[in-house]
Amino acid sequence: MVRFVDVASMQRWVAQTGIERIVSGMAEMIEADFRRWGEFDKRPRVASHSPAGVIELMPASDGRAYAFKYVNGHPDNPRRGLQTVTGFGVLADVDSGYPLLLSEMTILTSLRTAATSALVARRLARPDSQVMALIGTGSQSEFQALAFRALLGIRTLRIWDTDPAAMDKFERNLGSLGFDVHRATGAAEAVEGADIITTCTADKAYATVLTDDMVVPGVHVNAMGGDCPGKTELESSILQRASVFVEYPEQTRIEGEIQQLPADFPVTELWRVFRGEAAGRTSPDEITVFDSVGFAIEDFSALRYLDSCVAGTEYAAEVNLIVDPTDPKDLFSLVSAGALTLALN
């Protein structure tokens, strides 16, 4: 039997556990798995691009467990009443090859993305950071706000989106949750006085959401929206005067902000920071950039964390996904006349 977490079960688990508690626990597991970097079989995600968007598979394994996520990114979907990003994932046992968990991963990915962003900012942002600017208030924005409060204590937010309805939605969702939200009239105003800037826009285009003059010394930039080939948010000169941190260079150089720069542009891998082999922030005036594209080990960690929380609970149904003939070599017995008659009856 396979544990199965559908959308309704995921909603109940999140509502009853609390987003901030979940992202805090998930962040710890992500960091622990990144510290085991050498144990993982790693590769860039397998992407199938089209003019409308991208469909991807993101696999990772530590030799004991295997996980993959199916995920899409279609920026025009909201105009059709559909989500920009959706996903589902599988966690499996390497020794047998049998799946252990099948789960929705649209909500779970938002949780793990927020957990990763805040986890990295805890290492790279100034310890006295109090204000975060959010450029883009779409589906990920509330998760980011709650994760940064949980891990860094951020309560003051300055927001901007080209879609006023998206800002209305953000203020409506977080209005009663204890944040001080300033609604800016543009990106430049939003970043004024911000210690952390999060960019998270959806358009699949080379864009300049954040210009060089908006980034002052000491700021940490959580650059999330440059996450596929041909899609960026930061002016390249920001990267050239910052310390840039990435999950997996082989993937980020294809999909991240650094796709704008030469292939030998220096970056620091996060796993080295988590292991103490490389420095994070080195001075109060340093500009740090997390060129975030999302990496499969984060999904691996998210699925493991979810499984540890829901196994044996009401949130995980058990489904018969794998056939189980009496004789493992006699698969045909399951579709023979006798078996079909039994199934019909």
Q: Pick the catalytic residue from 33, 227, 299, 307.
A: 227
Q: Are 189 and 183 within 8 A, CB to CB?
A: no
The secondary structure element, H or E, covering residue 240 is helix 236-240
- The answer to whether the Cα torsion of 185, 187, 193, 196 is positive or negative is positive
Q: Are 251 and 298 within 8 A, CB to CB?
A: no
- Alpha-carbon span 182 to 158, nearest angstrom: 5
- Alpha-carbon span 12 to 314, nearest angstrom: 10
Q: Give the pair of three-digit tokens for residue 25.
A: 């626990």
Is 76 among the residues known to form the active site?
no
Q: Are 277 and 210 within 8 A, CB to CB?
A: no
Q: Are 83 and 77 within 8 A, CB to CB?
A: yes
At residue 148, what are phi and psi to the nearest 5 degrees?
A: -70, -30
Q: Which residues pair with 2 in a beta bridge?
A: 319
The single-letter DSSP state of residue 172 is H
Looking at the annotation, which residues are catalytic?
Answer: 227
